[in-house]
Structure 1
Amino acid sequence: MRLTRLKIVNYARLHDLDIEVRKHLVIVGANDVGKTSLLRMLNLTLGATLGQLYQSLSRADLRDQDQPLTVEAVLADFSDTEGALFHREIDIDADSGAGSLTVRLDVQPDADDLEAVVIHRVLTGTADRRAPTRQQLEAFGWRYLPATRGTSGAQLGGPNSALQLMFDSLDMGAERAVLTGILSDFNDKLHVSESLTELRRKIAGHLAKAMPRPVTANDLAVRTAADPGASMLEGVSMFLQRDDQYVPIAEQSDGLRQLMALTLFDLAENAANIIAVDEPELHLHPASQRTIAELFAAAENQKIVCTHSPYVLQRFEPAQVLVVAPGGDVHQVPDDSLGAVEKLRAQWWSPRLLEALTARYVIAVEGVADRIIVEAAARALGIGLDRLGVVVFELDGADKFRHVYKMLGENGFGVHVLGLVDKAEEGIFLGAIGGRLKDLIGAKVWPSDSDLEDEYCKALTGPGAGRILIDAGVCRLEGLLQACGASSEDELTSEAVAAYCRRNKTDAAIAVANAMSQEQAEAIGSVAGILTRAKELAGG
């Protein structure tokens, strides 16, 4: 059984959505846009008891508090056992013959209590729309690992840990009797030990003074935590060998504990149908993030993953990604655009581009030098790009914009993209976005006249830009004068210095960036314009 469609209406944290779930689902976006809230509604719909629903939901979850909040989760691909358990509730499509099961959660405002809600969860495939039984709820096979899971040792070796779950599910066969006998013999030896018997006498003597009834050494026992007759593996842990010593897995580093906890959780819940994990990248090195993502993506059961990590995202297919935008709107690549996006996957499905999917807004620039100038201007203007969730993405050439926009833009993942481009190349950006020229220039595309080197050299003046290059060690005065055809520093023109900067783009950009003032940043028209627009969009 797996999730194939999800519909949410009138939820306070998200816009209404109706999405297809294609094998796995990877939810990405900036901070505080509603990614975990989407997981929360799925967890309540498929995993919570009725009591937990009433504890977790209130009128505050209703965007319009006079209307119900509705969640519909559609499940399909049933095993024979699942088909028998839900035989009354499964709908059969008249054309394809495919079966589906819809779980509907309704949170209604209580007409008699302005602060209360009335909650119903039903399986819609029957006329009486019955609530799922406990057995049916368990058969959904939903498991959820929240971001608040932490990395404590209890996650690995506690009584409710994945490791203990695997121990409890083991069929020991004939070994059970042997190990039970060994454990019983060990407890017998502990009981007759002279040293431990003396210790029990001392403890009993002290307890007798404080307790209302007599206590003797025979009333106390020193035994293993595991009961030989019940669970002989209770309290057993797993160790890693290091330098000829065995170290408990619960005492490893935070990163290693997190990696092992996720791996063991996935292994222990192998029988589950749908496993949801919020931020699997917590405490993990990028290489470990990729490893975990590969395990998740290759699994037979379905994964619902919420992440900020481009390394996790990279291991899943574009069709499986859902982007949550600022304001709670969601985007996934439409069916008719999947083919075009898949063709770009080999070159562009990389952490560098995928970081843009976790941003609120993207400023696309032609190259490294342009990114350096834009980021420096933002600092000079007091615009915190990271705080606003703005990523400056370098294309490595204006001609690449059409490919990037096909993936990120309106017909891709719906990311809000702003473009900074040389005047001569603006047609590439305008053609990729589409629309009327007057609606795009100064709103989505900012051409530099004629290019960014020209603009920042005009803002700095020829002598000013030349002095910055000389002081930064990019060139010597004699060499710059010769390259610009000038006899003195005062005769340097902005056009001539700009031509020199084009031949040394990155070094010149670094020098200018380090010296840029607020007034100079404001004078670079295209850069100041695109940064101001990004700030307005982000509400900063």
Structure 2
Amino acid sequence: MYISKLVIKNYRTFNDFKIVLKPLTLIIGENNIGKSNLLDSIGLIFGQDVSYHKRRVLEVSDFNYKEILRFKRQVLDFNIPAGDIIYPEILIECTLIGWDEDQESVVGDWYSNVNFTEATLTYRFATGSKFNREEDVQHQRNFITKFIKEHTQELYDKLLESAKLDLINFPISKYFYTIYGGGDSSSTANIYHLNQMKFELLDALRDACTELVASHNSRLLFRILNSKEEEKYQDLKGQLVGLQQAINDNATLQEIKNGISVQLDKISLATDETSNLVDLIFSLPDVSDLLKKISLIYGDNPIKIERNGTGRNNLLFISLVLSYVEDITRGHSSYFRVVGLEEPESHLHPNLQDHLAHNIESLIKVDGKKDFRKDIQLLITSHSTHITTKIDFENTVVLYRDGDKIESHYVLDGFSEKALGKKQIKYLNKYLDAVNANIFYSRKIILVEGISEKLLVPIFFERNMGHSTEKSSCCVINVNGLAFSYFLEIIKNGFFQKCLVLTDRDTDTKTKERADNLAAKYDDVDQIQVSITADSTFEKDLINANAKGKGRDILLAVLKDVRPNAGKSYISALGENPIDTAGFFALIEDYKSEFAYSLMLNLADSDPLTDGFVIPDYITKGLNFFS
């Protein structure tokens, strides 16, 4: 069984959001896009720990901010009848499919389709049935009227909108949560059945060092050790039976005991009939007390957890939780468990990230088979391109912003199942490495043909936009040739981020129509702009744009650096004339990357306001696509 669809309304960053989930799902995207909020929303239904029971009673800050603004603006608008004002509600709906016979006994009351193949659980946070909404609106408006009367209309009109909105109270104390099944809000989910489902969250700010010592009931190691039946540890108590005699025979302990008796004799009343003799007794601890004395050590030269590096402890922590999740023999096993793993890459070097991601699928699969286990669903969030490229793209979904909304898109959604689609997927699986996977963490994408553009376009971008590509959340991807369409299909199929293609015209070659055909193919996709050189190649457009003036001086200086002897001869023969594009290009044709690198260093050290270097027109027009 697993959650196949999640609907989130008005919860934190999500206004009206839907996402398809799989038994193993990698959720990626830029910071503050809502990955953690997504996992927390699932915890509102499936979380059984005390902390989650408390979290189910939400705060004002848990509501989508724009929804709160909408509500307050409606209250301030006296033209809207009080009865027409909509109070915000938070709704989290999980659709479950693929259960086995045992799990069906739990979800049987929550069927939500006529074929009995889907079940839904819904968390709703809304005002109580006895709350009089119209009365509350009228009370708020009476307060505003009184405020204006006391402070004058003129002062009220001068207030910023934010100050006016602050005058409106959001009645959070009148809100209550319910969890119901089957889509019927009157059918409250049976607590016993709900408790058969669990949610484990390894959050990004986890304190691995603390959780790996079983010193408290809430510590992870203790919870794992204590999940077994007590009888399994009975032999530990047997080892302690002889400890009382050892205490009686210890001379130092006897000396301490006698000293206490002497002092007690001195301060006790003479008429006190109570004996002043004291003794030391060892109380045989409960199993849980014994378990709290256990901590983990790790490595060939084991040391205390506190002395381990954070990376090692993080890896140990993840292993500990996953071993707990995998263990179906524990005393308090559940029918279904969702595991949320946030940023498994924390404190791990790239090689360890690769290794962890490469093997993570096997943790929730049936031994020796490709099928996923039915009792576990694993949801991973990550910012690591190493993690991203090692988990199957079939299971990778990107969260991104489309205007004011957050949307989701699986990387391989929309690709044809025919030969061309399979070829495109094969290429992407091979070429989306730890560098190029950066497109899924960016809001703007620039695709270029080769290393020369990869080096120079970020410089041109900064000169054109006034800030770096990183500040604009823009990535520059070198497709190493002409494989633009493989990447553009991702954009076209639903990952609606703006994408600029900078490509050569390739005049007088067999592929001279390629660029125009590419532009025509994606002309109807608003998120894609194909910009083509005026001349045959990027370098020639660069030379043409700077054949005269100060730009000419920069190109000649770079030529002299890249081709010391040939460049010196060319410059001498050129004199004061404009640069001859064909002759100059002939000198750098076999040295394009060296030329681009030298030019990049030159431009990085010069002032764009005074150096006179001209960016080729097709690049300038292309960058304006992002404006």
Is the TM-score greater than 0.5? Answer: yes
Partner of 1:164: 222
The match for 1:493 among 568, 575, 579 is: 579
Tell me: CA distance 1:172–1:10, structure 2 relative to 1, closer, same or farther (3 Å): closer
Residue type at the aligned position of 1:510: Y
Tell me: CA distance 1:434–1:206, structure 2 relative to 1, closer, same or farther (3 Å): farther
Q: Does 1:106 align with 2:106?
A: no
Residue type at the aligned position of 1:276: G
Residue type at the aligned position of 1:307: S
In 2: Cα distance, 1:7 partner to 1:479 partner? 66
- 1:232-284 per-residue CA deviation (whole Å, 9 max, x = no partner) reads 333112223545xx313443101000011011111112255210112111111
Q: Does 1:75 align with 2:96?
A: yes
In 2: Cα distance, 1:135 partner to 1:525 partner? 68
CA drift of 1:103 comes to 1.1
Report the RMSD for the aligned CA atoms in angstroms: 3.6
SS at match of 2:189: coil
In 2: Cα distance, 1:413 partner to 1:170 partner? 46
Aligned 8 A contact 2:566 2:587 in 1? no
Q: Does 1:456 align with 2:538?
A: no
Tell me: CA distance 1:179–1:533, structure 2 relative to 1, closer, same or farther (3 Å): same
Q: How does 1:430-445 map to 2 (within 5 A)?
A: 430-435=519-524, 444-445=529-530
> 344-353 or 354-363: which moved more?
344-353
In 2: Cα distance, 1:514 partner to 1:203 partner? 81
In 1: Cα distance, 2:361 partner to 2:562 partner? 48
In 1: Cα distance, 2:264 partner to 2:203 partner? 44
Tell me: CA distance 1:463–1:349, structure 2 relative to 1, closer, same or farther (3 Å): closer
In 1: Cα distance, 2:259 partner to 2:385 partner? 61
TM-score w.r.t. the length of structure 2 is 0.72
Aligned 8 A contact 1:449 1:455 in 2? yes
In 1: Cα distance, 2:262 partner to 2:193 partner? 55
- 1:316-354 per-residue CA deviation (whole Å, 9 max, x = no partner) reads 232322211134422324754363364444423432332
Aligned 8 A contact 2:12 2:62 in 1? no
Aligned 8 A contact 2:113 2:119 in 1? no
TM-score w.r.t. the length of structure 1 is 0.83
Give the gaps of 5 or more residues in structure 1.
Answer: none
> 55-64 or 351-360: which moved more?
55-64
Partner of 1:296: 360
The match for 1:403 among 482, 486, 496 is: 486
Tell me: CA distance 1:488–1:197, structure 2 relative to 1, closer, same or farther (3 Å): farther
Aligned 8 A contact 1:368 1:396 in 2? yes
Partner of 1:511: 598
Aligned 8 A contact 1:463 1:491 in 2? no
Partner of 2:615: 523
Partner of 2:457: 374
- Counting aligned pairs with the same residue, the percent is 17
Aligned length: 514
Tell me: CA distance 1:10–1:138, structure 2 relative to 1, closer, same or farther (3 Å): same
In 1: Cα distance, 2:262 partner to 2:462 partner? 73
The match for 2:303 among 242, 247, 256 is: 247
Aligned 8 A contact 2:554 2:613 in 1? no
In 2: Cα distance, 1:74 partner to 1:82 partner? 14
Tell me: CA distance 1:201–1:13, structure 2 relative to 1, closer, same or farther (3 Å): farther
In 1: Cα distance, 2:553 partner to 2:277 partner? 95
- 1:342-392 per-residue CA deviation (whole Å, 9 max, x = no partner) reads 444442343233221122221111111101001223455541222222111
Tell me: CA distance 1:141–1:59, structure 2 relative to 1, closer, same or farther (3 Å): closer
Q: Does 1:388 align with 2:472?
A: yes
In 1: Cα distance, 2:240 partner to 2:2 partner? 43
Partner of 2:384: 309
Tell me: CA distance 1:9–1:60, structure 2 relative to 1, closer, same or farther (3 Å): closer
Partner of 2:242: 185
Tell me: CA distance 1:191–1:512, structure 2 relative to 1, closer, same or farther (3 Å): farther
In 2: Cα distance, 1:415 partner to 1:126 partner? 34
Q: Does 1:135 align with 2:219?
A: no
Q: How does 1:184-333 map to 2 (within 5 A)?
A: 184-186=241-243, 188-190=245-247, 192-198=249-255, 218=278, 227=285, 231-243=289-301, 246-270=302-326, 271=328, 273-298=337-362, 299=364, 300=373, 301-326=376-401, 327-333=404-410
> 72-81 or 335-344: which moved more?
335-344
The match for 2:204 among 101, 126, 147 is: 147
Q: Does 1:17 align with 2:45?
A: no
SS at match of 1:388: coil
Tell me: CA distance 1:337–1:180, structure 2 relative to 1, closer, same or farther (3 Å): same
Tell me: CA distance 1:169–1:104, structure 2 relative to 1, closer, same or farther (3 Å): closer
Aligned 8 A contact 1:205 1:215 in 2? no
In 1: Cα distance, 2:262 partner to 2:618 partner? 86
Q: Does 1:352 align with 2:435?
A: yes
Aligned 8 A contact 1:322 1:330 in 2? no
In 2: Cα distance, 1:525 partner to 1:204 partner? 98
Tell me: CA distance 1:386–1:177, structure 2 relative to 1, closer, same or farther (3 Å): same
Aligned 8 A contact 1:361 1:415 in 2? yes
Aligned 8 A contact 1:311 1:351 in 2? yes
In 1: Cα distance, 2:191 partner to 2:263 partner? 49
Aligned 8 A contact 1:362 1:417 in 2? yes
CA drift of 1:128 comes to 6.8
The match for 2:563 among 451, 475, 486 is: 475
Aligned 8 A contact 2:123 2:180 in 1? no
Tell me: CA distance 1:320–1:328, structure 2 relative to 1, closer, same or farther (3 Å): farther
Q: Does 1:124 align with 2:181?
A: yes
In 2: Cα distance, 1:204 partner to 1:513 partner? 86
- 1:488-528 per-residue CA deviation (whole Å, 9 max, x = no partner) reads 45446151324433321111011111111414565333344
Partner of 1:426: 515
Who wins on radius of gyration, i.e. which is larger? 2
Partner of 2:31: 31
Aligned 8 A contact 2:450 2:480 in 1? yes
Residue type at the aligned position of 1:85: V
SS at match of 2:225: helix
In 2: Cα distance, 1:73 partner to 1:510 partner? 52
Tell me: CA distance 1:338–1:289, structure 2 relative to 1, closer, same or farther (3 Å): farther
In 2: Cα distance, 1:27 partner to 1:336 partner? 18
Tell me: CA distance 1:28–1:231, structure 2 relative to 1, closer, same or farther (3 Å): same
CA drift of 1:449 comes to 2.9
In 1: Cα distance, 2:99 partner to 2:541 partner? 63
Tell me: CA distance 1:209–1:165, structure 2 relative to 1, closer, same or farther (3 Å): farther
In 2: Cα distance, 1:486 partner to 1:205 partner? 108
Aligned 8 A contact 1:29 1:360 in 2? no
Tell me: CA distance 1:46–1:365, structure 2 relative to 1, closer, same or farther (3 Å): same
- 1:80-120 per-residue CA deviation (whole Å, 9 max, x = no partner) reads 333223332234543xxx53221112233563473315244
Partner of 1:54: 57
